[in-house]
Amino acid sequence: MTPIKNLDRLESFCVLLFAVAVFIWKPGIYVASGLICLYLILRTTIETEFRNTLWNSTLAKLSLGMYALGLITATLGAETYQDVAWMARKTLFLPIVVFLAFALKRQINQRLAMTGLVIGFWIASVITLWNHDWQMNFGGRMGGTWLLGTWDSLLGLFFPFMVLYLLRTWSTSSTSTTWLTKAIYAITTLMACVMMLLAGGRAPWLGALIGLMMYFLILKPNRKLLLGVVGIAAVVGMIGLTAFQDKVQPIVDRFATVTNTTTEGSNWVRLRLWEIGGHQLAYFAANDPMSFAFGGGALSYDAKQIEFFKTLPYDPDDRQRLQEYGYPTGDTHNTYIDNALRHGVVWTTLITLYLIWLCTRFSWRYIRSNPEPSVLLIGLLVVSMFYTMVPHFATFFFVLFVGLLQSGRTLEKTDTDRS
């Protein structure tokens, strides 16, 4: 057996392992990431054609360059080696982008990735419902196989991904997808919606809703499809509010709390944390240019925020209320503020631009020809206003979903086509 054939098998194994790990095996994300890096090193060393293709790839150079830049900025802003090690681990999604761009050109890897995702999702859903005694507590917060914030972030990305992948699968002329597979995707999409509602995260709901609305109204308008979706949603909503009011009304009530910034605890806390983060960022800009540019350290920053909070002339009642909620802890519940404080405005700006480029290539023509990744990007950017999403496990999920949506344009490629 040739070394290239062995590497093809390793490539497929890495794809499957990474896809399965998304829902059910947290350490598997790092195991798969390590194997993917090893694969890239081996293939670059052994195969001249792959090495030349990698060298000529703008995507590869930008992704690996961003990874190296992250290590440099982390080193400049770090107080301990753990800060740099954390950055090296959490930004492994960048070499994974390179890997997926090549690996998902092969149909077998696309099928393995989708198989792993769907199986992992159903296993995770069964485990989640089992742990909650099969109770459908809509309007509450149901954690899954990840911590609650990560779980609803994952579902907030997975549901619109499945909607988009299902639409593409049904509209494609390819005969490689059977009716049974399409039916499984459809059922999985519906279940993903149910699990997202059960998870109860309002920001993921909002991100998914805005992204899909942009897709149907602007990026790929289809009047018949849109009217069909609106009609189905209206019928389901009316039935839900009448026959299943005890299940649907809690969802409506929870979503309605999005605008309540006074009595709703999590909203109030977020606003206070954004305020504290903004004050500290201004302090860094005026008194500590290195921290402003390169951050206060991925892990070291937590203690800095807690100490900084003590120096703020804060309303005593607000201070007491915030501490009763267990804050501050270093987390600002906002990707942009949090990254600027931990990793600096240089890296924060560049990684945001990189993710936008990854999905849009800064080209309206590209977006119109391949709009699906932009839908997930919109969701990520919206949720990032309320959660810390980058760098995070959510970013690993995101690049896999984007990779599959981008590879969907190459469904007619053969398993040996790497051009």
pLDDT digits (tens, 9 = 90+) for 14-36: 999 999 999 999 899 999 999 99
pLDDT of residue 412: 36
Q: Which of 27-31, 243-247, 258-262 has the highest mean pLDDT?
A: 27-31
pLDDT digits (tens, 9 = 90+) for 344-386: 999 999 999 999 999 999 999 999 999 999 999 999 999 999 9
Per-residue pLDDT band for 418 (boundaries 50, 70, 90) equals very low
pLDDT digits (tens, 9 = 90+) for 102-129: 999 999 999 999 999 999 999 999 999 9
Query: Rounded to 5 degrees, what are φ and ψ at 297?
Result: 105, 135
The predicted pLDDT at position 117 comes to 97
Q: Where are the domains of the chain?
A: 3-221+334-410
Question: What percent of the chain is predicted at pLDDT more than 90?
Answer: 61
* Total Cβ atoms within 10 A of residue 252: 14
Is residue 54 pLDDT above 80, yes or no? yes
pLDDT of amino acid 419: 34
Burial 60-89 (b: 16+ CB within 10 A, else e): bebbbebbebbeebbebbbeeeebbebbee
Q: What is d(CA 257, CA 245) in angstroms, rounded to the nearest whole number?
A: 18
Q: What is the pTM of this model?
A: 0.90
Q: List the one residue out of 73, 162, 92 whose CA is nearest residue 120.
A: 162
267: phi then psi, degrees, rounded to nearest 5:
-65, -45
Virtual torsion, Cα 297, 302, 308, 314, nearest 10 deg: 140
Using alpha carbons, select from 392, 277, 387 the residue that is nearest to residue 340: 277
Sign of the dihedral through C-alpha 18, 211, 153, 305: positive
